[in-house]
Amino acid sequence: MPVDHSPIPAPDVLSAFEAAKGFMPLNEGLALYAAATEAARLGLPLLEVGTYCGRSTLLLADAARAGGVLAVTVDHHRGSEEQQPGWEYHDPATVDPRTGVMDTLPAFRRTLYEAGLEDHVIAVVGRSPQAASVWARPLGLVFIDGGHTDAHASADYGGWVPHLAPGGLLVIHDVFPDPADGGQAPYRVYLRALESGAFTEITVTDSLRVLRRKGADDLARG
Ligand SMILES: C[S@@+](CC[C@H](N)C(=O)[O-])C[C@H]1O[C@@H](n2cnc3c(N)ncnc32)[C@H](O)[C@@H]1O
């Protein structure tokens, strides 16, 4: 069953998404929203690794609200390597003036509060592998957009994908087959998923890939 591309976030959520600090273009956001809307029909939580300031979380939250499920978003809120001072994606406004280290939690909380979506999101503040190690529920969607090194992306895949229910959707951001376009860690995770034989590719929208976990029937058919 193909992902339905027609669902559009509520207009106020779309405005909040466009106003929020973050890294996801609108086109990819709409593809994420479509995947989240479909995955919510499984009646299971939608999981995001990589909250940052909540831009993509808004879309998961809106889809979760519409589908009567919860979105869970995991981040230590200290920023990825490329977001640290002196690196390409650093934003000085994300540094806590008191501690001198990055803290995106206040901006995230503001984003979610102003969009009226707090009741639909559980924010987990911590390291993704540690959070995954204490998680024990099936998930309808796993969205990987955390650390972009091989170690981080691979740990995110290994930690969360085992919880993805059959028929659930795996979404990976920043998949660049050509190294000239960006780092290769998310691409390698995407290849790992396909090579596992456990997933079918559903949509490709710029650097956003949506894969569906095969069910027992699909696997039996080969
Ligand atoms: C690319 S940003 C996420 C962007 C966000 N999804 C958006 O669309 O705006 C990556 C985030 O992953 C977080 N992160 C990196 N490694 C992590 C880890 N091991 N555990 C938890 N969060 C991590 C960083 O703190 C950063 O906020």
| Protein residue whose Cα sits closest to atom 8 of ligand 1 | 56
Residue 45: phi and psi, rounded to 5, are -60, 155
Give me the percent of the chain exceeding a pLDDT of 70.
Answer: 96
Q: What residue ranges do the domains of the chain occupy?
A: 11-221
- Out of 76, 77, 148, 152, the active site residue is 148
pLDDT tier for residue 37 given thresholds of 50, 70 and 90: very high
- 45-98 per-position pLDDT tens digit: 999 999 999 999 999 999 999 999 999 999 999 999 999 999 989 999 999 999
> What residue owns the CA closest to ligand 1's atom 22?
75
- Supply the pLDDT for residue 218: 75
The response to whether residue 176 sits with its C-beta less than 6 Å from ligand 1 reads: no
Question: Which option is the CATH number for 11-221: 3.40.50.150, 3.60.21.10, 3.40.50.300, 2.40.400.10?
Answer: 3.40.50.150
pTM reported for the whole predicted model: 0.96
| Closest CA to ligand 1's atom 9 | 22
Q: What is the arithmetic mean of pLDDT over 133-140?
A: 98
Residue 79 Cα: closest atom of ligand 1: 25
| Environment class of 44 (CB within 10 Å of its CB; exposed 0-12, middle 13-18, buried 19+) | buried
pLDDT at 3 (0 to 100): 53
Contacts of 15 (CB under 8 A, 6+ apart): none
State the distance between the two ends of the chain, measured CA to CA, in whole angstroms.
Answer: 17
- Give the Å distance between the CA of 37 and the centre of ligand 1: 22
173 is catalytic: no
Ligand 1 centroid–CA 216 distance in Å is 32
Atom of ligand 1 nearest to the CA of 155: 19
Q: What is the pLDDT of residue 6?
A: 77
